């Protein structure tokens, strides 16, 4: 099942094995989606003035907005959006021109701005705002607006990160078989 997929200036999104894209999602331009990743209802992603790369087994939940920044004299590469493997992006998250590692949970309605780097194994609480250029270091929970380091992750939370991604791999397989327009 594929959503509303559009090319921009001759470049179209490309998909790995067994991805799921909800039919209401809009994906435009230079977007790469890795194996077993999923895009949920009403996600809007524009790989127009730069590229978007999403790794394997990553889920982008309902109403997320994904965009990038163009190249400029101050930022010769601009700000692409790069998301790693086994990442859970909660509902209504805004990801703009940032680099997100692997095994990460981004809580509902978080906003992550240009030039941010999120290292591997991080949880970002619901509603968190991460200002431009910040680095969130591996192994910590961040909350607040602006985001602050709250505490180290527990062992249970670290184990939850790949488990959450795996849950969404199972859910997208179930959707691929069982959701039908009526």
Ligand X SMILES: CC(C)(COP(=O)(O)OP(=O)(O)OC[C@H]1O[C@@H](n2cnc3c(N)ncnc32)[C@H](O)[C@@H]1OP(=O)(O)O)[C@@H](O)C(=O)NCCC(=O)NCCS
When binding is defined by CB under 6 A, the residue of 16, 78, 115, 125 that contacts ligand X is: 125
Tokens encoding 88: 């859970």
Question: Taking CB under 6 A as the rule, does residue 132 contact ligand X?
Answer: no
Q: Which is nearer to ligand X, 49 or 108 (CB)?
A: 108
Question: Taking CB under 6 A as the rule, does residue 90 contact ligand X?
Answer: yes
DSSP string, 11-52: B--EE-TT-EE-TT-EEEEEEEE-TT-EE-TT-EEEEEEEEE
Residue 119 CB neighbours (<10 A): 17
Using the Cα atoms of residue 159, residue 175, residue 5 and residue 90 in order, give the sign of their dihedral.
negative
Number of residues that bind ligand X (CB under 6 A): 11
Q: Which is nearer to ligand X, 8 or 140 (CB)?
A: 140
Question: Taking CB under 6 A as the rule, does residue 3 contact ligand X?
Answer: no
Q: Which stretch binds ligand X (CB under 6 A): 7-15, 45-53, 70-78, 118-126?
A: 118-126
Peptide bond connecting 146 to the previous residue in cis, omega within 30 degrees of 0: yes
Residue 111 CB neighbours (<10 A): 20
Q: Rounded to the nearest whole angstrom, what is the least distance from the CB of residue 40 to ligand X in the complex?
A: 10
Provide the β-strand partners of residue 4.
Answer: 26
Q: Which is nearer to ligand X, 28 or 39 (CB)?
A: 39
- Considering only residues 137 to 166 of the shown chain, the ones binding ligand X according to CB under 6 A are 141, 143-144
Residues binding ligand X (CB under 6 A): 90-91, 107-108, 123, 125-127, 141, 143-144
């Amino acid at each position: 099942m594929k959503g509303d997929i559009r090319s921009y200036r001759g470049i179209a999104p490309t998909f790995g094995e067994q991805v799921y894209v909800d039919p209401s999602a809009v994906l435009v331009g230079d977007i790469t989606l890795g194996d077993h990743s999923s895009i949920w209802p009403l996600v809007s992603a524009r790989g127009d003035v730069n590229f978007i790369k999403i790794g394997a087994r990553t889920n982008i939940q309902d109403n997320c907005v994904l965009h990038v920044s163009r190249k400029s004299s101050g930022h010769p590469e601009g700000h692409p959006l790069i998301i790693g493997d086994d990442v859970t992006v909660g509902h209504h998250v805004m990801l703009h021109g940032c680099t997100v590692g692997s095994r990460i949970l981004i809580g509902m309605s978080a906003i992550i701005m240009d030039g941010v780097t999120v290292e591997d194994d991080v949880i970002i609480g619901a509603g968190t705002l991460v200002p431009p250029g910040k680095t969130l270091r591996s192994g910590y929970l961040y909350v607040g607006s602006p985001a602050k380091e709250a505490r180290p992750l527990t062992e249970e939370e670290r184990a939850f990160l790949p488990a959450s991604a795996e849950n969404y791999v199972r859910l997208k397989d179930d959707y691929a078989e069982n959701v039908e327009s009526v």
